[in-house]
């Protein structure tokens, strides 16, 4: 089946977002078997050979077919960091093509060569952006969809309000539009769709699931946090990102005196040994809606019920 048809058949218009040091094959398998898109960053494995092993594990897991009650498997996706300081880009892209990974989520750079390689086997490229200018560049490179990362998102969040971002992105393109940021419930997925998104990329909510690779302490801190506990700062990794303030304090750091020096080196920042993401925990402002650590399948079932309920309520309001 073509990846575009797999998108049409999703049980819920959701991508379980790729998250550095958090998403691996188990969450991808569980998400896809629940009928949504599952994704991991290739850099979550230390080497390209390790990445190949994870892809094989996912392919094996998906051979089990969808969960009972789910019509169709969701497609799996990987995240590639397209930046000159990422030495893994070329070998990881080669493996991605060999394994015909249905969806590739690109971050930082949108390169025509990457898009061409993924299109060669019918795969789709969705590109992360935080501004309209970045979206224009990505569309010029031929990507199939834009992931608009809004203010308050986990990871390298943007600063635009989601309504403003969606509106301006939709004015730019009819291609697949994905909202990323602060969506933790099925009702919020429905709100994003009503506001103009085709899909929603949900990150922070999936950190607190059984299959995520986050530590038990990280998951528990999420269930205790609220939006006011999230700080947006360039001081941890050199790029603006969202972190839970308690984890910064627990690591013995004080944002008031902390300086991050030197140019951006994605190869170093996104290495599995990176202290920034391993010891200081990222989450978005959607944390306040997260109070448990369910299995991924249970979470997707719950979100589907909330999504249906929200759409029913909206329809009932129609005059």
Positions that interact with ligand FMN (CB under 6 A) = 17-20, 22, 41, 79, 105, 107, 128, 149, 153-155, 180-183, 201-204, 282-284, 286
Q: How far is the CB of 206 from ligand FMN (least distance, A)?
A: 8
> How far apart are CB 18 and ligand FMN at their closest, in Å?
5
Coil vs helix vs strand at 310: helix
* Nearer of residues 45 and 79 to ligand FMN, judged by Cβ: 79
By beta-carbon proximity to ligand FMN, the closer residue of 141 and 202 is 202
Residue 66 tokens, joined: 């969808």
Q: Give whichever of 29 and 287 is closer to ligand FMN, judged by the CB atom.
A: 287
305 token code pair: 């019920």
Residue among 290 and 297 whose Cβ is closer to ligand FMN: 290
In the complex, the smallest distance separating the C-beta of residue 239 from ligand FMN, rounded to whole angstroms, is 11
Tokens of residue 39, six digits: 């994704």
Least distance CB 232 / ligand FMN (angstroms) = 12
List Cβ neighbours of 312 (8 Å cut-off, separation of 6 or more).
none
Q: Which is nearer to ligand FMN, 11 or 106 (CB)?
A: 106
Q: Least distance from C-beta 1 to ligand FMN, angstroms? A: 24
- C-beta closer to ligand FMN: residue 24 or 284: 284
Query: Smaller CB distance to ligand FMN: residue 72 or 83?
Result: 83
The least CB distance from residue 285 to ligand FMN, in Å, is: 7
Residue nearest to ligand FMN (CB): 203
Q: Are 107 and 128 in contact (CB under 8 A)?
A: yes
How many beta carbons lie within 10 A of that of residue 259, not counting itself? Answer: 5
Asked whether the beta carbons of 163 and 195 are under 8 A apart, the reply is: yes
User: Is the distance from CB of 178 to CB of 200 less than 8 angstroms?
Assistant: yes
Buried b (16+ CB within 10 A) or exposed e, 152-172: bbbbbbbebebeebbeebbee
- State the Cα–Cα distance between residues 115 and 147, nearest whole angstrom: 15
> Strand, coil or helix: what is 15?
strand
Closest CA to 148 of 119, 178, 122: 178
Minimum distance from residue 243 beta carbon to ligand FMN (Å) = 9
Nearer to ligand FMN, 72 or 158 (CB): 158
**Pick from 114, 216, 125, 217: nearest CA to 176:** 125
Q: How far is the CB of 304 from ligand FMN (least distance, A)?
A: 17
Alpha helices, DSSP H only, in 9-161? 25-33, 48-62, 89-98, 112-119, 132-140
Separation CA 304–CA 307 (nearest Å): 5
């Amino acid at each position: 089946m073509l990846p575009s048809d797999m998108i049409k058949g999703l049980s819920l218009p959701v991508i379980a977002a790729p998250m550095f040091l958090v998403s691996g094959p188990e969450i991808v398998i569980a998400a896809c078997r629940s009928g949504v898109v599952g994704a991991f960053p290739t850099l979550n494995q230390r080497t390209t050979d390790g990445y190949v092993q994870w892809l094989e594990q996912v392919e094996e897991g998906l051979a089990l077919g969808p969960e009972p009650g789910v019509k169709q498997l969701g497609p799996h996706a990987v995240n590639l960091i397209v930046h000159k300081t990422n030495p893994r880009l070329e070998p990881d892209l080669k493996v991605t093509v060999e394994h015909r990974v249905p969806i590739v989520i690109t971050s930082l750079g949108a390169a025509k060569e990457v898009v061409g390689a993924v299109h060669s086997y019918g795969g789709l490229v969705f590109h992360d952006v935080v501004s309209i200018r970045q979206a224009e560049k990505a569309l010029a490179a031929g990507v199939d969809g834009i992931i608009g990362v809004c203010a308050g998102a986990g990871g390298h969040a943007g600063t635009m309000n989601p309504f403003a971002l969606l509106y301006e992105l939709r004015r730019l393109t009819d291609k697949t539009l994905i909202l990323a940021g602060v969506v933790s419930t099925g009702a919020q997925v429905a709100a994003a769709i009503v506001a103009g998104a085709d899909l929603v990329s949900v990150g922070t909510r999936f950190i607190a699931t059984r299959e995520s690779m986050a530590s038990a302490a990280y998951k528990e801190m999420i269930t205790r946090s609220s939006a006011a506990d999230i700080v947006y700062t360039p001081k941890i990794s050199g790029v603006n990102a969202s972190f839970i303030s308690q984890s910064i304090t627990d690591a013995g750091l004080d944002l008031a005196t902390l300086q991050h020096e030197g140019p951006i080196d994605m190869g170093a920042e996104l290495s599995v040994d990176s202290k920034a993401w391993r010891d200081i925990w990222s989450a978005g402002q959607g944390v306040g809606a997260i109070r448990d650590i369910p299995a991924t399948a249970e979470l997707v079932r719950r979100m589907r019920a909330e999504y249906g309920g929200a759409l029913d309520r909206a329809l009932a309001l129609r005059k």
